[in-house]
Amino acid sequence: MLFDPAVQLTGAATDPAWVIAFCEGKLLLPEGDAIALLPLAPSLHASPQARHYLGRLDGLDCWALLVAAPPPGWRALPLRTAMMKLAEPLRAVAGRAAQIIEWDRTHRFCGACGTPTELHASDRARTCPACKHVAYPRVTPAMMVLVWRDRELLLARSPHYAPGMFSALAGFVEAGESLEDCVHREVAEEVAVKVTDLHYFGSQSWPFPSSLMVAYTARWVSGEIVPQASEIEAAGWFDIDALPGIPPARFSISGYLIRETVQKLRDSAL
């Protein structure tokens, strides 16, 4: 399936079309287990609180809608739960829609002067008619790093993780900081060790609510693990053949990062 992003509809709308609808921060899915390709249902399309064009998926229009209540035949699920039920690239389109809906909801007034904003005529933006301030959808950069030494990985868990689940270290990039600076700072803060040999792995849009996760691997240099009390519930070195529970590869870049690094260590490619 090929997705072509766009800000505005050009030409005639397709019928059927994909409907990515939200209600009170939750994603609406058709009743039942099947994720159906649906026309713009009148109960959704008639009077949405917000409506944004996303582009075309396999030649069919995609719309992001905000509605007041789920109509008959639809159910509201937390975004993470709902996205786990979707296949790519629909999952990515749903994540894009969630971020656009949330940006639109939180930028109805100008952050500079308080005037109600208006949708930009051609860009994905809201503009202030008074002071001309322009607000684009927010993207918050964050780094993820998997630290390794010999045949061991440094994995940690935060208090909000599922029981028994460990993952790579992660943290938000601060103002004036490069991604590499962020890696070194977050590793030092969260587990008190030093790293080197940073290698870029990949990135993932993470709509909780608007992050761009940029993943690295890094080799341990020195230091003993001291978990940051306010952020890390547990952390330790794990042999690649005795890992704890890790995130699924289907949904999270952390799952891919850990599994591919394990394979490279087995192949002695790191």
Mean pLDDT along residues 86-105 = 90
* pLDDT tier, 141 (very low <50, low <70, confident <90, very high otherwise): very high
What tens digit of pLDDT does each residue of 55-80 get?
A: 999 898 999 999 888 888 888 899 98
Within this chain, do residues 78 and 190 fall inside the same structural domain, yes or no?
no
Within this chain, do residues 51 and 8 fall inside the same structural domain, yes or no?
yes
Mean pLDDT of the chain: 91
Which residue among 83, 106, 129 closes a domain?
A: 106
List C-alpha distances in Å: 250 to 37, 90, 100, 124, 175.
22, 13, 23, 29, 31
What tens digit of pLDDT does each residue of 171-209 get?
A: 999 999 999 999 999 999 999 999 999 999 999 999 988
Q: What is the pLDDT of residue 248?
A: 87
Instruction: Give the domain CATH number at 16.
Output: 3.90.79
Mean pLDDT along residues 140-152 = 97
Q: Per the structure block, which two tokens stand in for 178?
A: 């490069």
Which residue among 85, 106, 127 closes a domain?
A: 106
Judge whether 57 and 14 are in contact, CB under 8 Å. no
Residue 127 in any domain: the answer is no
Within this chain, do residues 206 and 100 fall inside the same structural domain, yes or no?
no
Residue 241: burial class (beta carbons within 10 Å; 0-12, 13-18, 19+): exposed
Within this chain, do residues 153 and 262 fall inside the same structural domain, yes or no?
yes
Which residue among 54, 81, 106 closes a domain?
A: 106
Distance of CA 81 to the CA centre of its chain: 13
How many folded domains does the chain comprise? Answer: 2
Judge whether 169 and 191 are in contact, CB under 8 Å. yes
Residue 114 in any domain: the answer is no
What are the phi and psi torsion angles at 83 (to 5°)? Answer: -65, -30
* Nearest Cα to Cα of residue 41 among 21, 23, 55: 21
Residue 154 in any domain: the answer is yes
Q: Which amino acid is at 25?
A: G
Domain hosting 177: range is: 140-266
Q: What is the pLDDT of residue 269?
A: 67
Residue 245 in any domain: the answer is yes
The rounded percent of the chain whose pLDDT value lies above 90 is: 71
Within this chain, do residues 43 and 157 fall inside the same structural domain, yes or no?
no
Q: What is the pLDDT of residue 98?
A: 94
Within this chain, do residues 94 and 160 fall inside the same structural domain, yes or no?
no
What tens digit of pLDDT does each residue of 237-267 get?
A: 999 999 999 998 878 899 999 999 999 999 9
Instruction: Give the domain CATH number at 192.
Output: 3.90.79.10
What are the phi and psi torsion angles at 44 (to 5°)? Answer: -95, -40
Residue 73 in any domain: the answer is yes
Within this chain, do residues 174 and 86 fall inside the same structural domain, yes or no?
no
pTM of the model: 0.88
How far, in Å, CA of 96 to CA of 94, rounded? 5
Q: What is the pLDDT of residue 42?
A: 47
Q: What is the pLDDT of residue 268?
A: 83
> Is cis: bond before 89, omega within 30 of 0?
yes
Q: What is the pLDDT of residue 194?
A: 98
DSSP assignment, residue 174?
P
Residue 123 in any domain: the answer is no
* Nearest Cα to Cα of residue 53 among 8, 120, 107: 8
